[in-house]
Amino acid sequence: MSIDARLKELGLKLPTPAAPVAAYVPAVEQDGFLYISGQLPFRNGEVMTGRLGADLGVDAGREAARACGIMLLAQMKAALGSLDRVERVVKLGVFVACDPHFTEQPKVADG
């Protein structure tokens, strides 16, 4: 089954890849690797904001992480033409905006 077919089966529609907000390119393919710039969580076209442990809980963080993951897929497809070219994810960094006492970053990143 193709990745596009699996996304359709899951009811996921990839958004238009977010345009860069500064002087960089969103994705670069080099030596068989695709490097993608950091992605922000969008909900209905707006960036999700707040700090986990201060004004947001784990569920909101998971929703934001999921939105970033979906945007990563959109960037991959735009850069590669097909998600079926993706063999594996070698490295994934997750940055969580949170209160200093918040300790559930792994639960958020799993979103």
**What does the pLDDT read at residue 32?**
94
**What does the pLDDT read at residue 20?**
86
Q: What is the mean pLDDT of residues 82-87?
A: 94
φ and ψ of 64, to 5 deg: -65, -45
Q: Which 8-state DSSP code applies to residue 43?
A: E
Q: Contacts from 47-52 at CB under 8 Å and sequence distance 24+?
A: 50/97, 51/97, 51/98, 51/99, 51/102, 52/96, 52/97, 52/98, 52/99, 52/102, 52/104, 52/108
Whether the predicted pLDDT of 29 surpasses 90: yes
Token pair recorded at residue 42: 């969008």
Q: Which residue has the tokens 């897929």?
A: 73
The contacts of residue 79 (CB under 8 Å, 6+ apart) are 26, 27, 28, 29, 34, 36
34-78 pLDDT, tens per residue?
Answer: 999 999 999 998 999 999 999 999 999 999 999 999 999 999 999
